[in-house]
Amino acid sequence: MEQQPTAAPASDGPAGAIETVFRMESPRVIAGVARIVRDVGTAEELAQDALVAALDQWPRDGVPDNPGAWLMTTARHRAIDLVRRRERYSRKLEEVGRDLQAAPYHVDVPSDPDDMDDDLLRLVFTACHPVLSAESRIALTLRLLGGLTTAEIARAFLVPEATVAQRIVRAKRTLATKGVAFEVPYGPEREARLGSVLEVVYLVFNEGYAATAGDDLLRPALCEDALRLARVLAELMPKEPEVHGLAALLEFQASRTAARTGPDGGAVLLKDQNRARWNRLLIARGIAALGRADAVSPKLSPSLEQGGPPSGAPGPYVLQAAIAACHALAYTYEETDWARIATLYGLLADRSPSPVVELNRAVAVSMAEGPGPALEIVDRLAAEPALRDYHLLPSVRGDLLARLGRRAEAREEFVRAAALARNERERQLLTARAEDCR
């Protein structure tokens, strides 16, 4: 079982304040220590040791002027002591002639505070390494970079705490046994690994934005964690267009959160949302992030004021952000430029073909050209194995059939979609739409 911080809840006086500081600083502390010990599991334990020391000393001696630096220094000293003990042990083994030798450890403490960002970037790429399963990458990232406890991650994803703990322990063990280097990859490997990093942040956000299971449609805390991670990545990797594309996409999506549910917590469809409740600050941040994606790539030149697509060969996150911009910049549902959105989905389908992208393209086509052409696209997707249990396929088909006046067939599709939906709020909405087709 993984070691847990022994701090009291955040509301519990000085100890809670210390834990709050630790939650904010722990990613950098873990990253800095991992550079020394070359193992994220050991680095997390040493960071938690520093937290225990803070809980002991700060209430007595007072909170230091720079608590983050105090935690970093304490954890580093413990890491260096650990490395020295291991080196002495290794030398002792050599002296007695044992045919065992621990791997060499090199104490490499960055002298420049700016190197901390490099360490944090190393931690990001390590926690999101593709050698781990998607579930393990998500759990480890939220633990090490999001500062969430095992219990918080379990509550967010509606899984037992023991399951999350097992995923985290298994992830750390896999990274150690596979000898995953604590480094930022470069060249072709970096591009491949970056995709894994962005996918983790995107999956975390989506689980908060449209929960796959449970009674609530939204889990705002997960959206906030993912958005914060995306912003951190954008600061750490300012020359990567896809990083800015993901940040822009999440800003746009998060801007709609307040309007996506009604007073009873039920889902509100896009066309029925009160756009006055959309967060214009987040929309402005999304526009700025999409502009940064253009600035770092000569191939991109988006017409941002129109929510237009970048030209050239943009990546999938930049394209999705451009689609989200079209929605964000339309003050009413009727003003949405569905033809442009359909074109963008076509580009996305060419760049990253998938049945889900094609289903989304069908929705845009239905708005731009009518339900008939869109139904042809959806019917071609009926045999896709990946969509066999995907509730949005019959949901979209039901909507198209209803708009064509084929209400009995539409009702059957909505009933099927409701049976497949795992989220209670979505199930209620689909059941209501089926009743409307009677």
Helix ranges, 96-187 (H) = 115-127, 134-144, 150-157, 161-177
pLDDT, the chain, mean: 82
Q: 406: pLDDT confidence band, cut at 50, 70 and 90? A: very high
CA distance linking residue 117 with residue 230, whole number of Å: 14
CA distance linking residue 176 with residue 234, whole number of Å: 28
Q: What is the pLDDT of residue 379?
A: 96
CA distance linking residue 278 with residue 232, whole number of Å: 23
Closest CA to 85 of 109, 105, 110: 105
User: Mean of the pLDDT values across residues 45-61?
Assistant: 85
87, 91, 94, 100: CA torsion to nearest 10: -20
| CA distance to 75, 78, 89, 124, 180, per residue, from 176 (Å) | 20, 20, 20, 16, 7
Higher per-residue confidence, 38 vs 112: 38
CA distance linking residue 243 with residue 318, whole number of Å: 9
Is pTM, for the whole model, over 0.85? no
Secondary structure of residue 267 in the 3-state scheme = strand
CA distance linking residue 222 with residue 141, whole number of Å: 12
With beta carbons less than 8 A apart as the criterion, state whether 108 and 15 touch. Answer: no
Q: What is the pLDDT of residue 112?
A: 40
Q: What is the pLDDT of residue 11?
A: 43
**Helix and strand totals (H; E) in the chain:** 18, 0
CA distance linking residue 219 with residue 223, whole number of Å: 7
Give tens-digit pLDDT for 337-390: 999 999 999 999 998 899 999 999 999 999 999 999 999 999 999 889 889 889
User: Mean of the pLDDT values across residues 144-165?
Assistant: 83
> For the ranges 5-9, 26-30, 413-417, which has the lowest average pLDDT?
5-9
Q: 218: pLDDT confidence band, cut at 50, 70 and 90? A: low
User: Mean of the pLDDT values across residues 81-87?
Assistant: 77
With beta carbons less than 8 A apart as the criterion, state whether 150 and 168 touch. Answer: yes
Reply yes or no on whether the pLDDT at 110 is more than 80.
no
Q: What is the pLDDT of residue 2?
A: 43
Reply yes or no on whether the pLDDT at 280 is more than 70.
yes
Q: What is the pLDDT of residue 90?
A: 57
User: Mean of the pLDDT values across residues 62-90?
Assistant: 80
Q: What is the pLDDT of residue 107?
A: 39
Reply yes or no on whether the pLDDT at 396 is more than 90.
yes
